Amino acid sequence: QVQLVESGGGLVQPGGSLRLSCAASGDIFRINHMGWYRQAPGKERELVARITDDDITNIADSVKGRFTISRDIAKNTVYLQMNSLKPDDTAVYFCNAFIQSYWTVYDAWGQGTQVTVSS
């Protein structure tokens, strides 16, 4: 089994910043990629940013230039630095990781952390 634990969400004013963290633990041999998705009320879940084990990143156009994704391989942790936040960024943010164990693979999801951008 694997677990993803997210932290760092909260309430922030427009123009502010937040940093999300997601730590993976459990039966991990290798993490191929980690990323963040978000889901706003009434909308589908969408990719925000993803990073591979080769540090190749994929950033959604809607957040490009404002959000940065990074990872600490030794800590099995991925970060999402969110700057210049807008009300449209309000959503539940979910961590995702594709993890290889010695026996199987996991497409793992965290439970989500709420990000609210409001004055």
Q: What is the 3-state secondary structure (H, E, C) of 49-112?
A: EEEECCCCEEECCCCCCCEEEEEEHHHCEEEEEECCCCHHHCEEEEEEEEEECCCCEEEEECCC
Res 110: pLDDT: 96
Q: In this structure, how many other beta carbons lie within 10 angstroms of the beta carbon of residue 74? A: 6
Res 50: pLDDT: 98
Res 3: pLDDT: 96
For residue 93, give the nearest of 57, 60, 65 by alpha carbon: 60
**111 falls in which pLDDT band (50, 70, 90)?**
very high
Residue pLDDT, tens place only, 30-39: 999 999 999 9
Residue pLDDT, tens place only, 17-76: 999 999 999 999 999 999 999 999 999 999 999 999 899 999 999 999 999 999 999 999
Residue pLDDT, tens place only, 73-87: 999 999 999 999 999
Res 10: pLDDT: 96
**114 falls in which pLDDT band (50, 70, 90)?**
very high
Q: Give the integer Cα–Cα distance in Å for 46 and 53.
A: 21
